[in-house]
Structure 1
Amino acid sequence: MVDLEAAIGFVVAHGDAVDRARLSRLRTGASVPPELLDAAESGQAVGGGWPAVLDGEVASVDATCFRLSELDDLGALGRPAARHALDWLAAGQLADGGWDEHPSLAGFAPEWATPGDPEARFYLTADAGFWLTVAGLDARAAGPLDHRVGGAYAGVVQAAAQALAGRLAADGSWPSFLPAGWLAAAVLHRQQMYYESARIQAVLADRIPGMSPADVAWLAATLRRVEVGEEQWLLVSARRRLAETQRSDGGWDSDDGHQFDVHTTLRAIRACRPTAPEAPVSGAPFVVPRIVALPAAPAPRSAPDASSAHAPRSVPGASSAQVPLPAPEAPPVQAPPPAPDAPSAQAPLPAPDGSSGAVPDLRTGFVPGSPPALVADPTSLPVPAPASLAGHPVPPAPPVDHGVVAPSMSD
């Protein structure tokens, strides 16, 4: 079973002020000091989105979705900055219901956000559609309440769901990166397109044993955010995988380096925390620990590339939508009590050219690095099983046809 107390202790010991504020709100619903919210919103472009690079002027769909995920943890989706960003996302939807990055970003965009690339467009559509789905009511709370999914953005979200469903293969696989799967499944679930969502979830369930902790935490947190039932096998398997991979210090490994372990651990806490928040001790609001200085751009707050406003993503390089592995040998983990909400992928699998790819976490950012995983055709890709799982050797198994390769290309 996941040790939530140890995970909380890890964030307290290693996180900064914004991390601790996110933790406090996840645990007790405590309000976040305005100065921290201002720091988390810094760098927003005039149009409403956040740029792909520090001090940039062109907003990025990918970077904007990452900032919204951080503001969600801080309870700030109803503030003007988030409303402005959601309006910008909604206005940028294409005629086919999808999203694409601005052409001017083509020179340095990573594969998962390459302008004009079909795999990147599917991922960006799933990411933008997800945040418009879950944040619509928060963003429009000041006006007439619209109870439709997405609130004021209901029509935009519905078009996004149709665009995603239209590109699914018969077996539930999708022609894009691995994280696009759970983001798309969440969008479709909220649109009551349960059959399409369940097909994607079945593919993801096959992948759980080989996923990295960062990917499993992102997957589980995303689906819990749209109230997918905790009894679903996919989420049961995700919690088991997180229990197997939790370190002795309470944290989990990020796919992007240990400087992002706190971010991964916060996602795991969101994925496994009880439904009802703890009552704040004595009713006192969260007090932010003193720190030397607040970061200028908290998404992330220590990017490996000084020119980038984003963290690299670790998603399996060109991996198949299936990794036929046996069930983990660890004893079953008892699921924690249900929880409402939500918002990382890495199995060291071969890239389309046969090389081994380090995979980016698809959290946010235009940072040079290995491409995220494609849901590829296992008949054309050798898919090795992980060297070990929970400390036990895992024998290779024959592939199962679960993937679709979209044209070569490239939140």
Structure 2
Amino acid sequence: MADSPRRHRVCAGSVSAVVDLEAAIGFVVAHGDAVERARLSWLRNGTRVPAELLETAEVGQSPDGGWPATWGGEVASIDATCFRLVELDDLGALGRPAARRALDWLASRQQADGGWEEDASLAESAPEWARPGDPEAAFLVSANAAFWLTVAGLDARASGPLDHRVGGAYAGVVQAAAHSLAGRLRPDGSWPSFLAAGWLSAAVLHRQEMFQESARIQVVLAERMPKMSPGDVAWLAATLRRAGVDPQDWIMVRALRRLTETQRSDGGWESDDGHQFDVHATLAAIRAARPTPPA
């Protein structure tokens, strides 16, 4: 994909959103580390990432395929593994052995009800959104795992030759997860979990062609969007875009408009997890707002 223009406009009816991609790129170049700058290059034009940077991004993987939440940890975490897959996806590395092992590990951890939960041994150390034994955390962890297995099914490099089933190699796992998530939605489209579980679930259901269920969630997300943090909107928009939601779809247009409103003068967006993650949030915004490459 060619270098992005300074401003990218997305329109839907009378609504337009202009994200200053050039400023966002400049922020990542100025503040990102080597791996983050490599992620930027891949997102912009598919620049091949040096092997040593890929190995840096993959470091610390457990023998079973997941990544622990802490350096040197012995038990792999679903939440931490999904976060690492975000980085590897932005490096074009989902087809490498490390990511394949991680995806296989996620699939193997699915429970009989179609969901996921962190290992019980992580109860004392896991953050509240991933704490084992908490149904709200289990819903978010399930949506996150299902999303990345969905992404694997979208990407032939990650899942091998795609078959006719939605989800490819992980079709059965993702289908069971989608029905589990949909079955827990409330009548008004809200969900019994953290905010991020909404857009992750909407993306999974969209790819499973459960459009009515996905749309119900999207309506709730749109209602909450004016009060969402910049980092959350970037994550929402990047998630839906990765799942194939059209950039000119109404929910994407609203998200891009919100990103336009919250982009800082230095080109970046603020992360809820502290300024050390502002580059990560900005990369998510770039993924969401970048022009669609020509067919």
Return the TM-score normalized by structure 2. 0.91
1:148 maps to amino acid: R
Q: Please name the residue that 1:138 is paired with.
A: 157
> How far did residue 8 of structure 1 move?
0.5
Q: Please name the residue that 2:14 is paired with.
A: none
Q: Please name the residue that 1:259 is paired with.
A: 276
Q: Please name the residue that 2:139 is paired with.
A: 122
Q: Please name the residue that 1:51 is paired with.
A: 68
Question: What pairs with 1:196-275 in structure 2 (closer than 5 Å)?
Answer: 196-275=213-292
**Pair 1:168-2:179 in alignment:** no
SS of 2:139 mapped into structure 1: helix
**Pair 1:188-2:176 in alignment:** no
**Pair 1:179-2:196 in alignment:** yes
Q: Please name the residue that 2:108 is paired with.
A: 91
Stretches (4+) displaced over 4 A? none
Q: Please name the residue that 2:90 is paired with.
A: 73
State the alpha-carbon separation in 2 of the partners of residues 175 and 10 from structure 1. Answer: 36
> How far did residue 140 of structure 1 move?
2.7
Q: Deviations over 1:63-122 (max 9, x none)?
A: 011111110000000000011001111111000000000010011212111112111111
Q: Deviations over 1:16-50 (max 9, x none)?
A: 11011000010011110010000000000010000
What percent identity do the matched residue pairs reach? 75
Q: Deviations over 1:271-319 (max 9, x none)?
A: 1000118xxxxxxxxxxxxxxxxxxxxxxxxxxxxxxxxxxxxxxxxxx
State the alpha-carbon separation in 2 of the partners of residues 232 and 203 from structure 1. Answer: 15
SS of 2:112 mapped into structure 1: coil
> How far did residue 252 of structure 1 move?
1.1
Q: Please name the residue that 2:167 is paired with.
A: 150
> How far did residue 200 of structure 1 move?
0.1
SS of 1:83 mapped into structure 2: helix
> How far did residue 227 of structure 1 move?
1.1
User: Is the 8 Å Cα contact of residues 205 and 233 (structure 1) preserved in structure 2?
Assistant: no
2:283 maps to amino acid: L
State the alpha-carbon separation in 1 of the partners of residues 56 and 217 from structure 2. Answer: 36
SS of 2:118 mapped into structure 1: coil
> How far did residue 163 of structure 1 move?
0.3
State the alpha-carbon separation in 2 of the partners of residues 58 and 165 from structure 1. Answer: 29
> How far did residue 260 of structure 1 move?
1.3
Unmatched tracts of structure 2, length 5 or more: 1-17
Q: Please name the residue that 1:26 is paired with.
A: 43
> How far did residue 145 of structure 1 move?
3.7
> How far did residue 58 of structure 1 move?
0.3
Return the TM-score normalized by structure 1. 0.66
1:130 maps to amino acid: F
State the alpha-carbon separation in 2 of the partners of residues 232 and 168 from structure 1. Answer: 22
State the alpha-carbon separation in 2 of the partners of residues 266 and 196 from structure 1. Answer: 28
State the alpha-carbon separation in 1 of the partners of residues 256 and 158 from structure 2. Answer: 31
Aligned residue among 21, 42, 51 for 1:4: 21
Q: Deviations over 1:189-239 (max 9, x none)?
A: 000000000000000000111111100000000000011122222111111
Alignment root-mean-square deviation, CA: 1.3
Task: Report the structure, 1 or 2, having the larger helix content.
Answer: 2
> How far did residue 146 of structure 1 move?
2.2
State the alpha-carbon separation in 1 of the partners of residues 284 and 166 from structure 2. Answer: 24
SS of 1:2 mapped into structure 2: strand
Q: Please name the residue that 2:176 is paired with.
A: 159
State the alpha-carbon separation in 2 of the partners of residues 172 and 145 from structure 1. Answer: 31
2:182 maps to amino acid: A
**May I ask how many residue pairs the two structures share in their alignment?**
276
State the alpha-carbon separation in 2 of the partners of residues 128 and 116 from structure 1. Answer: 17
> How far did residue 181 of structure 1 move?
0.1
Q: Please name the residue that 2:15 is paired with.
A: none
Unmatched tracts of structure 1, length 5 or more: 278-339, 341-411
Please say which structure displays the higher CA radius of gyration: 1
